[in-house]
Structure 1
């Protein structure tokens, strides 16, 4: 009897213990649920917080989206570079087909630069009014159309006109791309992003001679609609590919959120930031933890129209921006005059050096002088000779070696720009390249002269540092315009340099090289007078302009 009572008591105890365990587990679930609800509430409260634009931009992170932007902008820069200097490999091969003289070659080399110069202001205005992406996308497609059309040229004037229009369209992205790239990155990553993306420019100096090596020496031809296509014409087609690929990428990429913020307000910029966040974090746009962006007033670029753009443009030529404009534009002129102005002649100079029959150690200038004298004599005996336009095959691997040096220099800039400093790095490059330019004209050994030429052409790498220096001081409503005008002045330097060399290489070669080198090295003194960006921004923000 007592055993049954004890057994019954034990069963009741077990039942009570089970009930207690069930209650505890239920309590734990309730606590967990409360914690989850509290965390969700905190997230909702956090999401409802108002965030300034720069903080919201930082929240988007740095990942796949930024890498795609960098790659796309790199392809755009690659396309601009190839369209600008690609004709330097064509002029020798097309010399007989189009009857090119030395003066014609200078004009053909400068045609794209002249097109870029003449339309830079227009594209700057359109870029600041309608958007960076909206301007670059259609212009890149049309530039490829005109570039391919130029391959069908039957005389020098047709080629000049089509290359000019190609340059006009290339101008849309030649400087706007720096505004777009800079606005897609935080201020701490902007300089490095511009430097890394600019490294693609160096790839053009490897890709162009590589393609030329594969295509131009060929003896083949074929008919297309009754028109005879020869290697140099197909070569022009080949350098249009990067721009078309970049155009496809821009179809997916959005407009710059900073531009949208300045012209349409924070509500329109927020979805772009959410898209950047989703891509970088492998998340959904709805998970972007910012509900509202707090930023100042809209800029007047959109409502003011062309008159407003002219009014804003005038700010570039008034303090405090006047000093920035004068310094950055003068430096860009020097960079392009030396790098691009000289580069378009380098394949022709190398071809002259490699085809020289002199057994003595003579300078580049002596070789060039002999070539011009030979060309003058052949002109007098033109009726007795047949035109021959062959390119020494050794030109191409040497040019690719140049490209490799440029690539290493660009990559080094990307690594050291944050450690050494932008201004110090720029000045060092330009001084070294300027001195190398002077030396290249006086060194009697061909190998040493070629090496100095390669070093002097590395001055073009400094063009990637100047936008990183200048982009911080210009407000959003002026940034594309300022970059376009700066590159317009730079391309003017390229056109001046190309034609100046074409006019002086035969009779005043050493003087020309000396002037180029001394001017480029000496211009770096201006960087000492560059103002502090924080002071400029503070003063411009007091005038109601946003960054």
Structure 2
């Protein structure tokens, strides 16, 4: 039975009256495409590594720095986009992030020096983290509580679609051998066109998003009830086929409305003191028992996960390209990843070999293998929503970490390309959904007043792990490949053991009765965690 409040409907009751239908399906297509564009932007450099090597004369260490640079942008931008999303709204924050991503991609495609290319890729990561973070709360704020879990799991599938689409785009564009301009002045090659094309989806979706409204929950939270009611009436009309005037809700209320006017006439220093005091109380609570143990667990787990996942995801095309070079010289000779790397590196010191490899396009099999790895993520992406409640988050985390760590360990033990591809598929399929499970665990471990900050710290730890992983892998892959491979395995397996310490629901400390103290820039993350 719907609860009718005395002075109006709150958000959950109002959105329930809207119904579930065409509007949510249309928004899923739009937000899903945005999320796929984020996946494309995040993984673009995986095909730039083998392609741009000759133009920029990249060493393996340079490639590691190149992969790490957008991740640095993500770390820097994560909190800033929270402020933007709170200040100007989900819609305009999302549009701004998509535009920054597309402009950075287009600018980097014409950058003629490696430092300038790194500069633009930093802003690529800065924009992507904004779009990735905001799209979930924006979409969720058009959904009733009973539909959120299912729709958010469906949204996750679009990330896999983006990962699969990327090698397809690369396969069509990069293998060509044309060049516009001169190497000494301005040069535009197929891999540069590929980088530019990867920015087009973000630009397109930013334009399409102009046709959609701000989320009704954001409008209600900020006291804009009339505008929120107009949005809800439009959704109702599309879903039901009736007139907007037939929408039964005529007034809205929000008990959790943000009242900014209370400090409107306060001096700036006083307002800053109040804000800093709230943030300090929140952080002090987070770093006290039992939450200190919980945050240490989630941060370490995400650090190890992203250290391994983002590094190998971005280096897989480069590794398969090295396998191709190895098999040309040593056909039918058994070798693992590290064996191939050491032999290819030894041959790379020969200038004739370098010249020949620069003149030859990337092997088509590299694109095919990357597509296969992307396809391997579909079953886990689809089944996650079905299994997470039946098997439990703790079991899935332990299994995913342990199995992915074993797959990473096996990369140095297998002795042919087929076995390496199989292990790569297992690794990618498991790790691609593990972070989502960590987010779900955060929702259970932390009360509402701490959840946003816990989420922010965990995500930041993960991105720092990705930065360190790419730098370490790029530095050591040519010197001692075994060390990073075993580090991947060790961190993942350790994360699995650590996840055994996650308390069951009955052992979790109940949410504290203190009111939420969400710092500016974190409220949008809290919404994303709540529904994931």
Instruction: For residue 222 of structure 2, give the secondary structure of its aligned residue in structure 1.
Output: helix
Distance change (3 Å), C-alpha of 1:385 and 1:220: closer
Name the CA distance, whole Å, in 1 between partners of 2:227 and 2:423.
Answer: 52
Q: How does 1:323-472 map to 2 (within 5 A)?
A: 325-356=295-326, 357-358=329-330, 359-375=332-348, 377-378=349-350, 387-388=358-359, 390-458=361-429, 459-470=431-442
Contact 1:75 1:200 (C-alpha < 8 Å) held by counterparts: yes
CA contact (8 A) 1:80 1:173 kept: yes
Could you say which residue in structure 1 is the equivalent of 2:267? none
Distance 1:164 1:530, change over 3 A: farther
Tell me the distance in 2 between the aligned counterparts of 1:138 and 1:542: 32
Q: What are the ranges of 5 or more consecutive residues in structure 1 without an aligned counterpart?
A: 1-45
Contact 1:121/1:485 (8 A) holds in 2 = no
Aligned partner of 2:466 in structure 1 is: 494
State how far apart, in whole Å, the 1-side matches of 2:244 and 2:450 are: 30
Instruction: Report the alpha carbon displacement of residue 230 of structure 1 after superposing the two structures with TM.
Output: 1.4
Distance in 2 (CA, whole Å) between partners of 1:267 and 1:324 is 41
1:346 to partner: Cα distance: 0.8
Shift of 1:266: 5.1
TM-score, with structure 1 as normaliser: 0.81
* Secondary structure in 2 matching 1:154: coil
Please report how far the alpha carbon of residue 199 of structure 1 lies from its aligned counterpart in structure 2 after TM superposition.
1.3
Is 1:529 paired with 2:502? yes
Aligned to 1:515: 487
**What is the distance in 1 between the residues matched to 2:507 and 2:261?**
26
Shift of 1:350: 0.7
Alignment of 1:57-456 (within 5 A): 57-222=15-180, 227-264=186-223, 269-299=228-258, 313-314=279-280, 315=282, 318-319=285-286, 325-356=295-326, 357-358=329-330, 359-375=332-348, 377-378=349-350, 387-388=358-359, 390-456=361-427
* Deviation per residue, 1:88-136 (Å, 9 max, x gap): 2012111111221212111111111111111212112222333222211
Q: CA deviation at 1:397?
A: 0.6
**Structure 1 position 163, deviation (Å):** 0.7
1:48-63 equivalences under 5 Å are 50-63=8-21
Deviations 1:403-451 (A, max 9, x none): 1111232122234334434443343323221211111211123211221
- Distance change in 2, residues 1:306/1:250 (3 Å): farther
Counterparts of 1:47 and 1:335 in 2: how far apart (Å)?
A: 45
Cα distance in 2 for residues equivalent to 1:237 and 1:61 = 40
* Residues 1:317 and 1:100: Cα distance change in structure 2 (over 3 Å): farther
* Residues 270 and 292 in structure 1, CA contact (< 8 A), matched pair in contact too: yes
Distance 2:374 2:504 in 1: 34
Give the root-mean-square deviation of aligned CA atoms: 3.5
Determine the C-alpha separation between the residues in 2 that align with 1:262 and 1:321.
Answer: 28
Show the counterpart of 1:25. Answer: none
Which one is further off, 335-344 or 149-158?
335-344
Shift of 1:386: 8.7
Q: 1:383 to 1:194 in 2, by over 3 A?
A: closer
**Aligned with 1:391: secondary structure?**
coil
| 1:541–1:270 Cα change, 3 Å | farther
- Report the counterpart of residue 32 of structure 1 in structure 2: none
Measured in 2, the distance between the counterparts of 1:288 and 1:48 equals 18
- Separation in 2, partners of 1:473, 1:131: 28
Cα deviation, 1:26-84, whole Å, max 9, x if unaligned, reads xxxxxxxxxxxxxxxxxxxx898743432222222222222233222222222222222
Is the 2:91–2:215 Cα contact (8 Å) retained in structure 1?
A: yes
Q: CA deviation at 1:488?
A: 3.0
TM-score w.r.t. length of structure 2: 0.83
Measured after TM superposition, the shift of residue 526 of structure 1 is 3.2
Cα offsets for 1:353-398 (capped at 9, x unmatched): 12213343121111111122223x337x899989546322210111
Structure 2: how far apart are the matches of 1:335 and 1:59?
Answer: 41
User: How far off its partner does 1:484 sit?
Assistant: 5.1
Q: Report the 3-state secondary structure (helix = DSSP H, G, I; strand = E; otherwise coil) of the residue aligned with 1:344.
A: helix
Describe the superposition over 1:325-357 as per-residue Cα deviations: whole angstroms up to 9, x where unpaired. 444443332332221111111111111112213
> Taking structure 1 as reference, are residues 108 and 154 closer, same or farther at Cα in structure 2, changes over 3 Å only?
same
Query: Is 349-358 or 226-235 further displaced after alignment?
Result: 226-235
Is the 1:333–1:494 Cα contact (8 Å) retained in structure 2?
yes
**CA shift at 1:209, angstroms?**
0.8
The residue number in structure 2 matching 1:38 is: none
Deviates more, 1:406-415 or 1:306-315: 306-315
CA gap 1:185/1:307 in 2 versus in 1, 3 angstroms: farther
* 1:385–1:393 Cα change, 3 Å: closer
User: CA 1:278–1:489 in structure 2 vs 1: closer, same or farther (change >3 Å)?
Assistant: farther
1:301 deviates by 7.2
Distance of 1:405 and 1:461 partners within structure 2 = 12
Tell me how far apart the structure 2 counterparts of residues 394 and 150 of structure 1 sit (CA, whole Å): 27
Taking structure 1 as reference, are residues 133 and 75 closer, same or farther at Cα in structure 2, changes over 3 Å only?
A: same
- Identify if the C-alpha distance between structure 1 residues 529 and 386 changes in structure 2 by more than 3 Å, giving closer, same or farther: closer
2:85–2:134 contact (8 Å) kept in structure 1:
yes
